[in-house]
Amino acid sequence: MSIIGCVADDVTGATDIASVLAAVGRSALVVFDVDRVDPDDLREADALVVALKSRTAPVADAVAASTAAIQWTRDQGASTFFFKYCSTFDSTPEGNIGPVIDALLPELGLDVALVAPAYPRNGRTVYQGRLFVGHVPLDESPMRHHPLTPMRDASLERLLRPQTRLGISSLFLDAVRSGGIADELAPAGEPRIVIADAIDDDDLVALARAAGEHVLLTGGAGLALGLGADGDDEATGGDPVVARPGERLILSGSASATTRRQVAHAREHLPTLKLDAARIADDPVAYAGEVFAWVTAQWDAAPGRAALVYATDSLTDLDAAPSAVSGDDVEWVLGLVAQHAAPRLGALIVAGGETSGRVVHDLGIASLRVGQVIAPGVVWTDALTAHGRMGLALKSGNFGADDMFTNAWELLA
């Protein structure tokens, strides 16, 4: 059985690629702390995804963390390696995509880095070396105005050039579709980068399968579609996450349009509490205690029914927010509520990428064993906390169906 070693540049990116690996039959483990991974989980896994927070970190830090993480996966037996970043190629002229590739190739002794950020089911395609978001080039999408990584070009070669010391060539769609992938990726004496077109899932599957173990796979979660059970007869997928005894809670710090629809749906079916910005600003510790008291009252009234605590249900909340509390304050309160709740929890859903990172940290979770898929990019995972095991689903803002907060529980085995 081949083992896949992956380093992801943010937390929900890690669960996103882990969800694809699980969907194609892999037994995936998302790792936050390599020194505290549960040995039983590690033994069962055939895909190790180390979750970093390196996307906008200083270049040297991102390189050091990525190198250490990929080394760890190799020490665990990985022989196929993947560097996961966002399918909108989130980076600046300094990095961190190019510098991490430059460091990982010699570290792993590999010849070629395949750059394939396409994720067609999320509307990201690459054609003639240009990255598209839906129907528009990357630099005409909202990513043009991203506060941390504004994307002002759609040519992947021009975006990468200032970030890397390596030579760059292109693998255009006609070569991808005419069986030319292996030739284009063959070792050529010097380490190099090959940027690949892909406009549907079959293109990505062909790329991942034709790339040999001398190739470092890099891109969005879509490229992992080609790393599944079909390509490896022994891959069987992870065990489903079971419905453990205990209470159910949803903590939502995301303000995305999808999450706001999910909150609106949940308000019709579940007890819900909207965080009070003024109370957070006034006394966050006391307020987290009050929020938890509300949660326990709901649980005591109807054991087993989920309760929802959320930060935002309309964009005007955010307009009002800067004067009262910061996003960090909100995350801090939600993390504290999670800590209060942990001893009684059987299953927890967290909405929001940054919020998820905070809750995982505050619950002291070292790794997540990936189970059943809830929606593209969202999975039930099995998490070990100081209070035992529980089901945990981490949801990036824009993922999941509108009824996810009410219905995801039914998928627990």
> Which residues contact ligand ADP by CB under 6 A?
253-256, 259, 277, 311-312, 317-318, 321, 325, 327, 330-331, 352-355, 396-397
200 vs 317, which CB is nearer to ligand ADP?
317
Q: Is 296 exposed, middle or buried (0-12, 13-18, 19+ CB in 10 A)?
A: middle
Spatial contact of 373 and 23, defined as CB atoms under 8 Å apart: yes
In angstroms, what is the minimal distance from the CB of 297 to ligand ADP?
A: 23
In angstroms, what is the minimal distance from the CB of 262 to ligand ADP?
A: 11
Spatial contact of 137 and 154, defined as CB atoms under 8 Å apart: yes
Spatial contact of 215 and 110, defined as CB atoms under 8 Å apart: yes
- DSSP per-residue letters across 351-385: ESHHHHHHHHHHTT--EEEEEEEEETTEEEEEEEE
- Which residue has the CB atom at the shortest distance from ligand ADP? 397
253 vs 371, which CB is nearer to ligand ADP?
253
Rounded Cα distance between 62 and 188, Å, is: 28
What HEC string does 234-255 produce?
Answer: CCCCCCCCCCCCCEEEEEECCC
Q: Is 201 exposed, middle or buried (0-12, 13-18, 19+ CB in 10 A)?
A: middle
In angstroms, what is the minimal distance from the CB of 285 to ligand ADP?
A: 17
281 vs 366, which CB is nearer to ligand ADP?
281
In angstroms, what is the minimal distance from the CB of 358 to ligand ADP?
A: 8
Q: What is the largest CA-CA distance in the chain?
A: 68
Rounded Cα distance between 208 and 224, Å, is: 7
Spatial contact of 120 and 199, defined as CB atoms under 8 Å apart: yes
Which amino acid belongs to residue 116?
Answer: A
171 vs 350, which CB is nearer to ligand ADP?
350
In angstroms, what is the minimal distance from the CB of 27 to ligand ADP?
A: 26
Angle CA 241–229–4, to nearest 5: 80
In angstroms, what is the minimal distance from the CB of 18 to ligand ADP?
A: 16
Beta partners for residue 383, in sequence order: 368, 390
12 vs 170, which CB is nearer to ligand ADP?
12
**146 CB contacts (<8 Å, ≥6 apart)?**
90
98 vs 400, which CB is nearer to ligand ADP?
400
120 vs 352, which CB is nearer to ligand ADP?
352
In angstroms, what is the minimal distance from the CB of 109 to ligand ADP?
A: 36
Spatial contact of 278 and 326, defined as CB atoms under 8 Å apart: no
In angstroms, what is the minimal distance from the CB of 148 to ligand ADP?
A: 12
Rounded Cα distance between 81 and 136, Å, is: 31
Phi, psi of 135 (to 5 degrees): -95, 0
The neighbour count for residue 14, using CB atoms within 10 Å, is: 29
38 vs 317, which CB is nearer to ligand ADP?
317
159 vs 378, which CB is nearer to ligand ADP?
378
In angstroms, what is the minimal distance from the CB of 353 to ligand ADP?
A: 4
In angstroms, what is the minimal distance from the CB of 281 to ligand ADP?
A: 10
130 vs 395, which CB is nearer to ligand ADP?
395
